[in-house]
C-alpha cells in the first residue's frame, strides 16, 4: 500500500492543487477531514487515504473503502461561484473523473446523473460534494459558496466485493484486466478537475461555459436522454429522461404525462 506522494506532486505541478496533497494510511472519511479543515479556516487542500473506515456517499449511504484497493480523495476549494453552482461542481467532477479513468485505465466510464461512475452498468465510483454558503455582502446580492468539498471514491484494484454489493459494483482492475496506479489516476483526476473548475469559474462571468458543461455532460452520460428510469423522490415515479435544465437538474417525462425535475432523488434503471 505504498503511496508515492512526490510522484503525485510532480504530476500536478501548475495546478491549483500543487503542494496541497496530504496522504494518510487510514481515516474515517477524507470528506470529514476536509470539512473540519474548512470549518477551521482552510480554503484549499487534498486529502487522500489508503483506507476509509467510515466512508460515505450521497444521501448518507456508506462507501466500501477496502484498504489499498481504491482511490479515496477529497478536494477543498473556494470558488467564487453562486450557491446554485453546487450541482454544476458535481457534474464537472463527473466529467473530470471520466477523463481520469480513460487516461489511467483506458476505460470509457458512463455517468449516472448526478454523481455515479459506471462500467458495464456496474458502479465503479461516486462523487459527494458538500458545500457551505457565505452570507451575501448586500441584501440584493446573490449568496456565494464559502467553500466546497469534493469527495471522489473510485474502485481501482478490487478483485471482488462483499456479497451484498457484488452484483452492482465493479472495479477498474476487473474491467481492464490489470492493476491501476492510485498515483496515476489521482494525478489525472486533479489535472482534469483543475481544468473543469477553471472553466466553471470563468462561467461565473458568462453563461457559455455552463451551457457547454451541460452539453458535454449530456454527451458523456447515457442517462440524460431517452433512459427509462425510476426516481425515488415525491413518493417515487418512473419515466423517460429528457435532458438537463439550465441549472443541471435532470428532467424526466414521467409515465403520468407530466415533466418533472429531479432535485435530489436517486435515479435507477426502471
pLDDT tens-digit readout, 196-207: 999 988 755 557
Domain ranges of the chain: 5-220, 225-269
| Residue 56 pLDDT level (bands cut at 50, 70, 90) | low
pLDDT band at 17 (very low <50, low <70, confident <90, very high): very high
Per CATH, the number for 225-269 is: 2.30.30.100
Q: Please report the beta strands in 3-104, taking only residues with DSSP state E, as ranges in sequence order.
A: 21-27, 45-52, 70-77
pLDDT in the model for residue 1: 67
Positive or negative: CA dihedral 105, 110, 113, 117: negative
How many whole angstroms separate alpha carbon 101 and alpha carbon 87?
21
Domain 5-220 of CATH type 3.40.50.960: no
pLDDT, mean of residues 219-247: 96
What is the per-residue pLDDT for 45?
Answer: 98
Beta bridge partners of 46: 21, 75
Per cent of the chain over pLDDT 70 is 93
Which residues are CB-neighbours of 108 under 8 A, at least 6 positions away?
98, 101, 102
**Overall average pLDDT of the 240-266 stretch:** 95
Q: Give the 3-state secondary structure of residue 107.
A: coil
The radius of gyration of the chain from alpha carbons, rounded to an integer in Å, stands at 18
Whether the pLDDT of residue 98 is over 80: the answer is yes
Q: Is the dihedral of CA 224, 88, 165, 267 positive or negative?
A: negative
Q: Give the mean pLDDT of 235-261.
A: 96
- Average predicted confidence (pLDDT) for the chain: 92
Confidence of residue 104 (pLDDT cuts 50, 70, 90): very high
Amino acid at each position: 500500500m505504498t503511496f508515492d506522494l512526490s510522484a503525485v506532486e510532480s504530476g500536478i505541478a501548475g495546478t491549483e492543487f500543487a503542494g496541497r496533497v496530504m496522504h494518510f494510511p487510514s481515516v474515517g472519511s477524507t470528506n470529514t477531514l476536509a470539512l473540519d479543515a474548512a470549518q477551521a479556516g482552510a480554503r484549499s487542500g487534498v486529502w487522500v487515504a489508503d483506507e476509509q473506515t467510515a466512508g460515505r456517499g450521497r444521501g448518507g449511504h456508506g462507501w466500501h473503502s477496502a484498504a489499498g484497493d481504491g482511490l479515496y480523495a477529497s478536494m477543498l476549494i473556494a470558488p467564487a461561484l453562486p450557491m446554485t453552482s453546487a450541482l454544476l461542481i458535481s457534474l464537472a467532477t463527473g466529467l473530470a473523473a471520466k477523463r481520469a479513468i480513460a487516461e489511467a485505465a483506458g476505460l470509457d466510464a458512463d455517468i449516472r446523473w448526478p454523481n455515479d461512475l459506471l462500467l458495464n452498468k456496474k458502479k465503479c465510483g461516486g462523487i459527494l460534494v458538500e458545500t457551505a454558503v457565505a452570507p451575501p455582502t448586500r441584501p440584493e446580492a446573490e449568496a456565494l459558496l464559502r467553500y466546497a468539498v469534493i469527495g471522489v471514491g473510485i474502485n481501482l484494484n478490487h478483485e471482488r466485493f462483499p456479497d451484498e454489493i457484488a452484483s452492482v459494483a465493479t472495479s477498474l482492475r476487473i474491467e481492464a484486466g490489470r492493476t491501476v496506479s492510485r498515483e496515476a489516476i489521482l494525478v489525472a483526476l486533479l489535472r482534469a478537475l483543475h481544468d473543469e473548475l477553471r472553466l466553471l469559474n470563468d462561467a461565473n462571468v458568462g453563461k457559455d461555459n455552463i451551457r457547454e458543461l451541460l452539453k458535454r455532460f449530456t454527451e458523456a452520460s447515457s442517462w440524460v436522454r431517452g433512459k427509462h428510469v425510476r426516481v425515488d423522490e415525491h413518493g417515487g415515479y418512473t419515466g423517460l429522461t429528457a435532458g438537463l435544465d439550465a441549472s443541471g437538474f435532470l428532467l424526466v417525462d414521467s409515465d403520468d404525462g407530466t415533466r418533472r425535475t429531479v432535485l435530489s432523488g436517486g435515479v435507477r434503471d426502471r
